Amino acid sequence: GEDVEQSLFLSVREGDSSVINCTYTDSSSTYLYWYKQEPGAGLQLLTYIFSNMDMKQDQRLTVLLNKKDKHLSLRIADTQTGDSAIYFCAESFRSQGNLIFGKGTKLSVKP
Amino acid sequence: DADVTQTPRNRITKTGKRIMLECSQTKGHDRMYWYRQDPGLGLRLIYYSFDVKDINKGEISDGYSVSRQAQAKFSLSLESAIPNQTALYFCATSAKDRGNQPQHFGDGTRLSIL
């Protein structure tokens, strides 16, 4: 069955890089997504990567995908206090319409 | 995402009451979803609808029902609310696409059942 795992917490200092990791079990996933949830808000789509790509960069965000190990990571360069939020990874499948979400990683950025 | 609107934003009610949460979207998407979020459990899918005549149960549909009144509207009902249904509820939409299917979320409804 499908399962997406993330560590629950990450704490970094302002200005450092943050790396949030995610593992998934189903190799038939087509797209993998990163969402951000700020307190009191819904989930905001940050970025996504197609499963035949290894890397995608978008300003301070870098997504790395290792299909062999079924491992996805989100790197945030020069982390700011405004990056404090819960980050969810999710996968989709060509044969279905649903996303499978991880439980989310709470990122705390200390000044 | 202002294109996906949930009402009410907050609701406090008593055990046994019937509750309806509403979701409307202006994105023109065919697919709509209801999730609940609980601390430490992430998002769990309650129901989803691929079009007006296609409604499916998700992971945790017991105690809930839905109605897809139109392409743009998808409501979630709790027929007889119980305290363990206290949670943050999200509606989401996505386009009808077998490839890239990011979901777009509303701001959520915080529901408390006493």
Q: Does A55 touch chain B (CB under 8 A)?
A: no
Q: What tens digit of pLDDT does each residue of B64-104 get?
A: 999 999 999 999 999 999 999 999 999 999 987 766 778 99
Chain A to chain B, count of Cβ pairs less than 8 Å apart?
A: 57
DSSP state of A52: T
The C-alpha atoms of residue A79 and residue A81 are separated, in whole angstroms, by: 7
What is the distance in angstroms between the Cα of B75 and the nearest Cα belonging to chain A?
17
**B98 → chain A, closest CA residue:** A94
What percentage of chain A exceeds 70 in pLDDT?
Answer: 95
pLDDT at A85 over 80: yes
Q: Does B94 touch chain A (CB under 8 A)?
A: yes
pLDDT at A81 over 70: yes
pLDDT the model gives residue A95: 61
**A89 → chain B, closest CA residue:** B42
Cα first-last separation, chain A: 41
Q: Phi/psi zone of residue A40: left (φ > 0), alpha (ψ -120 to 50 degrees), beta?
A: left
What pLDDT band is residue B42 in, cutting at 50, 70 and 90? confident
Closest alpha carbon to B4 in B42, B31, B44, B43: B31
